[in-house]
Structure 1
C-alpha cells in the first residue's frame, strides 16, 4: 500500500456517537510535533519499525503489533526510533468517543499491545476506498465503532489473557453458586489466591470489584427467573439468586437496572408474583 490520507467531510455523520475525521497510512511516518495537541482522538497502529512518542513528559516506544492512543488537546511528539516506521492512523470524534476508548482499555493517552502485526480489519477497510461521499463517511463511522470494539478485544487478549485465565475458576465458581451467599474469601480460595490479590486482579481485568460482579450476575439470573417462573414471589426470586433479604435484592436490582423488580416485570409484561 502506498502512503495515503483521506479527510472525511463534515456532514451528518458528525451527529453520530462516533465518527471519523481523517484516516491515513504512512510508508515511513515523518516526525510530528504538536504543542497544542490535536483536536480529535487518534489511534496509531505500527506495522513495521518502531515509533517513539513523548506524551506529557514521558517517552514510550511502540513496535509491530502495538498501538498508541492520543487524546485531544494534549501536547505530543512522535517520530521514528530509527529506520523506517510504517504506521496507519485514524482520527475520530463524537459524544461517545471517550467512553468507547475507555471500554477498549484506554483511560488516557498511551500505548498498548495487540499481539498481531497485521492491520486490524476495520482499519484496513477504512483505508480501502477513496470516496468522500456521505455513504462512504457513514461506512467509516460504522467501521470506527467496530475498530474500537476490536481494539479492546485484541488488547485484552494480548495483555490480559493470563489474568483472565486466572479468573476463570472464580467465574465458574460464581456461576455454580449464585443460589447462595458468597464471600470474598471463598472466591479467593477457589483460585488459591489472597482476597487482596483477587480484588486487584478483578479491578484490572473486569473493571469492577469481585462482589460487584457477583451482584451483576445475580441480577441477570433474576431477570431470567422472573420470565421462566412467572408465579414466583419476589422474596422467592431473591432467595433463588442468593439474597437473604428481598429488600436488599430490590435495592441491588434497581441500582443495576434503574428499575425495581416490580417495575421490570411490568416493563416486560410479566405478571407480578402472587
Structure 2
C-alpha cells in the first residue's frame, strides 16, 4: 500500500489545535533511512512484516513483525531492512500538547517497543489514513482527535525492548547509506564508494547485497525517489524535468519510468494526488 504524505508546515490551523498529523503510511516497504539530525516531528512506527535494524544514540535494535519504535523529534537515527520485505506502518505528529503528552507517558527517549494491543492501534491508524485519503485536511479538529486516539493506543500499551536485545551495528552499511543520502543528487560510482569504504568493489557490492537484499544502486534509486516525492510537494512550480535533475536522474523519461515503478503513478499524478506541501 502506498504512503500518504501529509506535511503541512505552513498551515495556520496547526497553531489552533493541540495535535496534528505530519506523515502517515500503511504497510509500506521501507527503504533505508539515515537522518543525522532526525526530523522536526515525533514519529511512531509499527512493523507488520519482515525485519529491520534501528540505530539510535549508538544503540541498535532488531525490529521484527509485532514490534515498533518511537523517534523523538530532532534525534539522530537510522533504520533499514535486513530482510527482502520490511513493511512499516507509521505516523508523524506534532503540536502544543506533545511535550506534556510525552511527559505523562514518560517518553523521554527514543527506542523500540512491543504492543499489548496491536490490533487497536492499527485500527485507529487505518481509520486516520482513510479519513485523510477521503477528506484531506479540511477538518483539522477531527484530525487532531483521531491523532490523539492513535497515540493513546500506543502509549497505553507499549513495553520498551531492552537495549540488551540489540543487533550489531554495521558501520560499512551505515557509511554507504549516509554517503548515498548526502550525494544522491549527482552521479555516484561504485569506484568512489569502494574508496570510501576501503574495500574492493567486488567485496563491497557482495557484502551490501547480502546484508540489504538489494544492490547499492537499487538503494540509491530508492533514496532518489524518496527525495523526488519531497521535492514534488515542496516545489509545485518546478517542472518534472527540474525535479528529475535535482534528484540525480539522467533524463526525465527515465525518471518517470522509475517513479511509476516505485509509486504506482507518474510524478505529475503524484503531485496532484497529494496536495499538501512538504
The one of 150, 153, 159 equivalent to 2:153 is: 150
2:101 alignment partner in structure 1? 100
Whether the 8 Å CA contact 1:46–1:87 is kept in 2: the answer is yes
Q: Mean alpha-carbon deviation: is it higher for 126-135 or for 55-64?
A: 126-135
Q: Deviations over 1:79-124 (max 9, x none)?
A: 1122211111111111221322343442211111103554522211
Distance 1:139 1:13 in 2: 13
| 1:26 to partner: Cα distance | 4.5
Whether the 8 Å CA contact 1:53–1:61 is kept in 2: the answer is yes
Please say if 1:127 is aligned against 2:126: no
Distance 2:76 2:56 in 1: 7
Aligned-partner SS, 2:18 = coil
The runs of 5 or more residues in structure 1 that have no matched partner are 160-274
Q: Mean alpha-carbon deviation: is it higher for 126-135 or for 8-17?
A: 8-17
The one of 120, 138, 142 equivalent to 2:141 is: 138
Q: 1:78-97 alignment to 2 at 5 Å?
A: 78-97=79-98
Runs of 4+, deviation exceeding 6 Å: none
Whether the 8 Å CA contact 2:117–2:153 is kept in 1: the answer is no
Whether the 8 Å CA contact 1:22–1:92 is kept in 2: the answer is yes
| 1:148 to partner: Cα distance | 1.7
The runs of 5 or more residues in structure 2 that have no matched partner are 162-278
Whether the 8 Å CA contact 2:137–2:143 is kept in 1: the answer is no
2:213 alignment partner in structure 1? none
Whether the 8 Å CA contact 1:49–1:84 is kept in 2: the answer is yes
Whether the 8 Å CA contact 2:26–2:126 is kept in 1: the answer is no
Q: Deviations over 1:42-96 (max 9, x none)?
A: 0111111122111011101222222211011111111112221111111111122
Distance 1:100 1:88 in 2: 21
RCO higher in 1 or 2 (8 Å CA, sep ≥ 6)? 2
Q: 1:256-267 alignment to 2 at 5 Å?
A: none
| 1:6 to partner: Cα distance | 2.7
Considering only aligned residues, what root-mean-square deviation do their CA atoms show, in Å?
2.2
TM-score (norm 2): 0.51
Q: 1:43-82 alignment to 2 at 5 Å?
A: 43-82=44-83
* Larger of the two Rg values belongs to structure: 1
Distance 1:8 1:152 in 2: 23
Whether the 8 Å CA contact 2:115–2:157 is kept in 1: the answer is yes
* Cα distance change, pair 128–111 in 1 and its aligned pair in 2 (3 A): same
Aligned-partner SS, 2:130 = coil
Aligned length: 156
